[in-house]
Amino acid sequence: MTTESHHTLSHQPWLDPEEKPFIRIQGVTKQFGAFVAVDSVDLDIYKGELFALLGGSGCGKTTLLRMIAGFESPTSGRIVIDGEDMQDVPPYERPVNMMFQSYALFPHMTVEQNVAYGLKRDGVAREEIRTRVDAMLEMVELAAFRKRKPHQLSGGQKQRVALARSLVKNPKVLLLDEPLGALDKRLREQTQYELMNIQDQLGVTFIVVTHDQEEAMTLSTRIAVMDHGWFQQIGTPTEIYEFPESRFVADFIGSANMFEGRVAGHDGDVASIDVEGLPEPLKAEHTASLREGMQVWLAVRPEKMRIATEPFDDSSLNSIRGSVEDIGYYGDSSTYRIRVNPGMRLEITHPNLRRPRDGRHVADWDETVYIGWVPEAGVVLTR
Amino acid sequence: MVERLQASWKLLVVLVPYIWLLIFFLAPFFMVLKISLAELRIASPPFTPMFGTDEAGATIIRLLFDNFRYLWEDSLYLNTYLNSLKISTSSTILCLLIGYPIAYAIVRSTPTVRNILLLLIILPFWTSFLLRVYAWMGLLADQGTINDLLIWLGIVDSPVRMLYTEFAVYVGIVYTYLPFMILPLYANMEKLDISLLEAASDLGARPVTTFLTVVLPLTVPGIVAGSLLVFIPATGEYVIPDLLGGGNVLMIGRVLYNEFNANTDWPVASAVAIVLLLLLVLPMMLYQHFQSKAAG
């Protein structure tokens, strides 16, 4: 577990045993006929978190979100929000608001009327509705568009109206279904920071559903990686990225070079792993309890590997020889695809620290190269 | 060359509907208008010509508005128009009240069930309209199926008079025109995004409020289309009031038929038709006008 120095315990309430979870999801299952969309999951979310449910399509993340909103009821298990069991509470009485993936703006109402809709339903006084809608439109910078209808707005503007509409009621929890999905890259990054700012200002608990791992990494305090209706791993972005617990997580978040092999031996907390097709066993630091002969996978992130045209002097490094098959140039960095043997290809990301010399950065196509990484760089996985 | 061919081809395609309207709508309309401005005479055709010559040989055009004044002065026609409008308005409202929930239920059902339900709505069209009205006569008559059943069940002692009453006319019109209400409503509701209903619910709207503030406003186009499709033919309906209403229910379609056939008074019959057309077209044009104003 990593605790970065600037993070106090109040930033990480899930580490504090005194802290009470704000949302408790206990043994929740949802079946549609024979299909199990969500498979007895347990999850505690704390006040003020920006929690991401991350997974591919059909993993059950949206179903879970819809159960929290009240549009679906769990087949079994219970959902508790702020100490209240939500079992028989209809959506219109829950202290949550949702921002829909399609935004679901009312097409026959103006921006202003859309934002005011929820307040009117609560019977808020006219004057107060006005001030609150004004403040909200000011915050999302749409005050000038208040009389427009949704079809007269751009995608980014619609998204901000949807956000304003779901925030104006001061919900205890804001649910966001792929909030940035329909935006282009530049707008997405901008909105991401806006969302984080808003969350910080208002202290609302956010639950974001997304399939975009980058979005989840930058936005959230914690991520739950979902697959086939259950959680593969729950943790901070750093934990998920640097300490994946399974091959699925290692593969789904970022990319990873995966070596399949068997434990050959131990030396303290460094294990050596025999991998078929490699002349020498790979060394890897680990915390898992490993037995000799056990099948394991070693995952190494592309940016944690070094690439050179000469063999490495340092014998503590893992070192593999291969040839450059492909180079992807991204400007700030380049990705090299290295062919080690007919059945093994590795991906290495290398920052372009200087401008190219003789038309190349580190290595050229078909050149023989050496790949190296320290034993602390890889993660040993048992599932 | 090719471009010019394409241009003239485009023009032809645009013109076809206009030519169609000209031949089959505008020309007959002007013929009827012309007859309505003529005078009855015992001859063939049974009305005076519009163009003639006087003793000096000059062309004269005779436009007589007597027929329209006659319609206005004889209270029978005014009452019949009002009664027709009353019956068609009430029938339209009844069709809306019955058809709206049906259309909504069809939209919300699963695709398989939806297709079966839609087929059931269209199914009556596969039998002759006249035959279906006769079937209602059999059902509603004093010795008909419904009365037999009521007497057998002991609910009534003597037959309830239903056939040849206004009630029977309502039954006939609502039964006949209900699909014309349901289908446009269905087409409109099918486009309604379910997430809008969820959004309303999420924002604190109870089901009734969601219906009134979201569903109803968004289905107005369907309501208008369905209502027009019921209201217009129902106002001029002839067969249903004639067969199910007998002589007891006055509707303008029957008056028109009588003027034309029994009295062979073509000019008055035509005047009746022209007034009916104005009664139906004017509100529609007003609606269109306000609609485009609201949209603009």
- Given this model, what pLDDT does residue A111 score? 95
Q: Is the pLDDT of residue A98 over 90?
A: yes
A140 to chain B, minimum CA–CA distance in Å? 19
Residue B169 near residue B87, CB atoms below 8 Å: yes
Q: Does B208 touch chain A (CB under 8 A)?
A: no
Work out the pLDDT band at A182, boundaries 50, 70, 90: low
* Tens-digit pLDDT profile for residues A204-228: 899 999 988 888 888 888 999 999 8
Residues with Cβ within 8 Å of residue A89, at least 6 apart in sequence: A70
- Given this model, what pLDDT does residue A4 score? 41
DSSP 8-state symbol, A172: S
What ipTM was estimated for this complex? 0.80
Whether B280 is in a domain gets the answer no
Residues from chain B that touch A207, judged by Cβ atoms under 8 A, are none
Nearest Cα residue to A346 out of A380, A377, A313, A369:
A369
Whether B270 is in a domain gets the answer no
Q: Does B214 touch chain A (CB under 8 A)?
A: yes
Work out the pLDDT band at B41, boundaries 50, 70, 90: confident
Strand pairing report for B51-53 and A379-381: unpaired
A108 with B199: Cβ contact below 8 A: no
Residues from chain A that touch B218, judged by Cβ atoms under 8 A, are 107-108
Query: Residue B210's CB: how many other CB atoms inside 10 A?
Result: 21
Total number of domains constituting chain B: 1
- Given this model, what pLDDT does residue A7 score? 43
The two counts, helices (H) then strands (E), for chain A are: 8, 20
- Given this model, what pLDDT does residue B29 score? 92
A92 with B213: Cβ contact below 8 A: no
For residues A206-240, one letter each, b for 16 or more C-beta atoms within 10 angstroms of the residue's C-beta and e for the rest, the string is bbbbbbbbebbbebbbbbbbbbebbbbbbbbbebb
- Given this model, what pLDDT does residue A113 score? 95
Which residues on adjacent β-strands are paired with residue A308? A370
Q: Does B192 touch chain A (CB under 8 A)?
A: no
Interatomic CA distance for residues B137 and B150, integer angstroms: 16
B199 with A106: Cβ contact below 8 A: yes
Interatomic CA distance for residues B105 and B126, integer angstroms: 23
Q: Is the pLDDT of residue B296 over 60?
A: no
Q: Is the pLDDT of residue B294 over 70?
A: no
Residue A32 near residue B110, CB atoms below 8 Å: no
- Given this model, what pLDDT does residue B169 score? 95
Question: What is the full DSSP assignment across A353-366?
Answer: -S--BTTBSS--TT
Q: Is the pLDDT of residue A19 over 90?
A: no
* E-strand stretches of B112-196: none
Cβ burial, residue B46 (10 Å; 0-12/13-18/19+): middle
- Given this model, what pLDDT does residue B135 score? 94
Query: Residue A36's CB: how many other CB atoms inside 10 A?
Result: 16
Residue to mutate among A72, A96, A103, A117, with most B CBs inside 10 A, is: A117
Q: Which of A32-41, A212-221, B117-126 has the lowest mean pLDDT?
A: A212-221
- SS3 assignment, position A226: strand
Residue A325 near residue A371, CB atoms below 8 Å: no
Residue to mutate among B203, B209, B218, with most A CBs inside 10 A, is: B203
Whether B95 is in a domain gets the answer yes
Interatomic CA distance for residues A298 and A262, integer angstroms: 10
* Tens-digit pLDDT profile for residues B261-280: 888 889 999 999 999 999 88
Percent of chain A with pLDDT over 90: 35
> What is the overall mean pLDDT for chain B?
90
Distances (CA, A) of A229 to A27, A143, A179, A232: 12, 41, 21, 9
Whether B167 is in a domain gets the answer yes
| Tokens 């104005």, residue located | B278
> What is the overall mean pLDDT for chain A?
86
Average confidence (pLDDT) over A47-76: 90
Nearest Cα residue to A136 out of A198, A207, A48, A204:
A198
Q: Is the pLDDT of residue A283 over 90?
A: no
Q: Is the pLDDT of residue A360 over 80?
A: no
- Main-chain dihedrals φ then ψ at residue A199, nearest 5 degrees: -60, -40
- Given this model, what pLDDT does residue A8 score? 47
- Given this model, what pLDDT does residue B295 score? 62
Closest residue in B to A96 (Cα–Cα): B202
Q: For B215, what's the count of Cα atoms within 13 Å in the CB-facing half-sphere?
A: 22
Interatomic CA distance for residues A237 and A241, integer angstroms: 6
Among A92, A102, A106, whose Cβ lies nearest the Cβ of B206?
A92
- Given this model, what pLDDT does residue A320 score? 87
Q: Which of A7-11, A210-214, B254-258 has the lowest mean pLDDT?
A: A7-11
- Given this model, what pLDDT does residue B231 score? 93
Closest residue in B to A66 (Cα–Cα): B198
Residues of A contacting chain B (CB within 8 angstroms): 69-71, 90-93, 96-98, 100, 102, 104-108, 117-118, 121-122, 165-166, 169
A106 with B206: Cβ contact below 8 A: no
- Given this model, what pLDDT does residue B133 score? 94
Residue A340 near residue A346, CB atoms below 8 Å: yes
- SS3 assignment, position A338: strand
Cβ burial, residue A110 (10 Å; 0-12/13-18/19+): middle
Domains along chain A with CATH numbers: 9-251 (3.40.50.300), 255-381 (2.40.50.100)
Residue type, A46: Y
Whether B277 is in a domain gets the answer no
Residues from chain A that touch B202, judged by Cβ atoms under 8 A, are 69-71, 91-92, 96-98, 166
Positive or negative torsion for Cα A143, A145, A148, A151:
negative
| Tokens 């930058």, residue located | A218
- Given this model, what pLDDT does residue A203 score? 81
Residue B266 near residue B35, CB atoms below 8 Å: yes
A107 with B213: Cβ contact below 8 A: no
Average confidence (pLDDT) over A123-148: 91
Closest residue in A to B218 (Cα–Cα): A108
Cβ burial, residue B151 (10 Å; 0-12/13-18/19+): middle
Q: For A252, what's the count of Cα atoms within 13 Å in the CB-facing half-sphere?
A: 28
Could you give the strand order of the β-sheet that contains A282-285, starting from the edge strand earlier in sequence? A282-285, A270-275, A257-267, A295-300, A379-381
Q: Does B189 touch chain A (CB under 8 A)?
A: no
Whether B290 is in a domain gets the answer no
Q: Does B195 touch chain A (CB under 8 A)?
A: yes
Whether B143 is in a domain gets the answer yes
Q: Is the pLDDT of residue A6 over 60?
A: no
Residue type, B125: F
Residue to mutate among B192, B198, B202, B219, with most A CBs inside 10 A, is: B202
CATH of the domain at B143: 1.10.3720.10
Residue numbers of the domain that contains B117 = 74-264
* Tens-digit pLDDT profile for residues A230-262: 899 999 999 999 898 889 998 888 888 888 888
| Tokens 């893992």, residue located | A318
| Tokens 């063999």, residue located | A311
Residues from chain B that touch A172, judged by Cβ atoms under 8 A, are none
Average confidence (pLDDT) over B6-17: 86
Q: For A343, what's the count of Cα atoms within 13 Å in the CB-facing half-sphere?
A: 7
B224 to chain A, minimum CA–CA distance in Å? 16
Interatomic CA distance for residues B179 and B251, integer angstroms: 22
- Given this model, what pLDDT does residue B112 score? 93
Nearest Cα residue to A248 out of A84, A74, A54, A110:
A54
* Tens-digit pLDDT profile for residues B170-211: 999 999 999 999 999 999 999 999 999 999 999 999 999 999
Nearest Cα residue to A189 out of A154, A218, A155, A159:
A218
B68 to chain A, minimum CA–CA distance in Å? 44
Interatomic CA distance for residues B204 and A119, integer angstroms: 8
